[in-house]
């Protein structure tokens, strides 16, 4: 007698992808973010103009076939500068997010899992939350910009400073969320069973805690990218970020506001790039939250 065929069991990854795919906003956000990343990193291979090349004879040009977004007051191609600025802004967003997520996960998991660390770590979190973010960032930039620029060079030094400044001032929401998740998770039956079986310390966190708080970690990651990009853009808009000759979306937006009436594309291009990226990241975060919610994926 032939054995009855079994329906293939769906994997956890397949369930997450299926749920994410049904979220139209998240899928559209993923496509938009991928297009933005491809445009800023692979676009220069197709559009080979140097973003820092000065051409005084062709300054202040409007959009044309030779310069689709025109040129600035020094004759530099605006499209090339928007792509170059996107590389810096996205790099700041992803690296600063990784730093903030690492700090927030470490503090949140330890505060929720190790009882005697809960009080000190949460008071530290409250202290950082009480600090005014923008003035603190301004003070950090003013204090360390020259020293880091002299040691690592103007671009690498400012990049390191901005990434660290954003990362160490934006980990607190992740820590608070994960602490609550871990506190609730400690009372679950499988955690109690693992503890009864002798699992302690780091093996418990690695095998049982971190996989079950993956959803808030990923959502915090998407929000962290958006926060880092908008913070870097604000610093550059205030002329406290990268030097003027290094294009970032915030710096291009600031420079473009001066010519908003005569050459609006100079401000619209980086502004639209920032808005699309932030919108895409936020929709991806919504989709990941729904896809990773176990209530949305009944087994």
Whole-number Å distance between alpha carbons of 182 and 195: 15
Share of the chain above pLDDT 70, in %: 91
- Please say if the pLDDT value at position 5 is more than 60: no
CB neighbours (10 Å) of residue 112?
A: 25
Share of the chain above pLDDT 90, in %: 16
Average pLDDT over residues 220-241: 84
Q: According to CATH, what is the number of the domain 90-294?
A: 1.10.3720.10
Residue 193 DSSP class: H
DSSP3 helix / strand / coil % (the chain, rounded to 5): 75, 0, 25
Question: Cα-flanking dihedrals φ and ψ of residue 36, to 5°?
Answer: -65, -45
- Please say if the pLDDT value at position 299 is more than 70: no
Whole-number Å distance between alpha carbons of 299 and 294: 9
pLDDT on residue 9: 40
pLDDT on residue 276: 92
pLDDT on residue 38: 92
pTM metric for this prediction: 0.83
Provide CB contacts within 8 A for 121, sequence distance 6+.
Answer: 107, 110, 111, 175
Averaged pLDDT of the chain: 83
- Of 25-34, 74-83, 91-100, 199-208, the least confident: 199-208
Average pLDDT over residues 183-201: 76
Q: For residue 147, what pLDDT band results from cuts at 50, 70 and 90?
A: confident
pLDDT on residue 123: 92
Range of 86-95, 139-148, 196-205, 250-259 with top mean pLDDT? 86-95
């Amino acid at each position: 007698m032939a054995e009855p065929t079994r329906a293939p069991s769906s994997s956890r990854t397949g369930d997450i992808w299926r749920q994410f795919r049904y979220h139209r906003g998240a899928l559209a956000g993923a496509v938009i973010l991928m297009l933005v990343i491809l445009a800023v990193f692979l676009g220069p291979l197709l559009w080979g103009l140097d973003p820092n090349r000065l051409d005084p004879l062709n300054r202040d040009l409007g959009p044309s076939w030779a310069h689709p977004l025109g040129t600035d007051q020094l004759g530099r191609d605006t499209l090339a500068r928007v792509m170059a600025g996107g590389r810096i802004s996205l790099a700041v967003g992803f690296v600063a997010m990784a730093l903030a997520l690492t700090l927030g996960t470490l503090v949140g998991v330890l505060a929720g899992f190790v009882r005697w660390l809960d009080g000190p770590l949460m008071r530290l979190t409250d202290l950082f939350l009480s600090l005014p973010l923008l003035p603190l960032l301004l003070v950090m930039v003013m204090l360390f910009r020259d020293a880091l620029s002299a040691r690592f060079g103007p671009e690498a030094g400012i990049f390191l400073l901005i990434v660290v400044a954003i990362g160490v001032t934006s980990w607190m929401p992740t820590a608070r969320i994960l602490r609550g998740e871990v506190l609730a998770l400690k009372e679950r039956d499988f955690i109690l069973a693992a503890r009864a079986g002798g699992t302690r310390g780091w093996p418990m966190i690695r095998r049982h805690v971190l996989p079950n708080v993956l959803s808030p970690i990923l959502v915090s990651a998407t929000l962290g990218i958006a926060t880092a990009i908008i913070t870097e853009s604000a610093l550059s808009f205030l002329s406290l970020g990268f030097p003027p000759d290094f294009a970032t979306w915030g710096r291009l937006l600031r420079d473009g506001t001066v010519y908003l009436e005569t050459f609006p594309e100079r401000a619209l291009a980086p502004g639209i790039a920032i808005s699309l990226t932030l919108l895409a990241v936020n929709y991806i975060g919504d989709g990941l939250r729904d896809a990773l919610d176990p209530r949305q994926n009944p087994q």
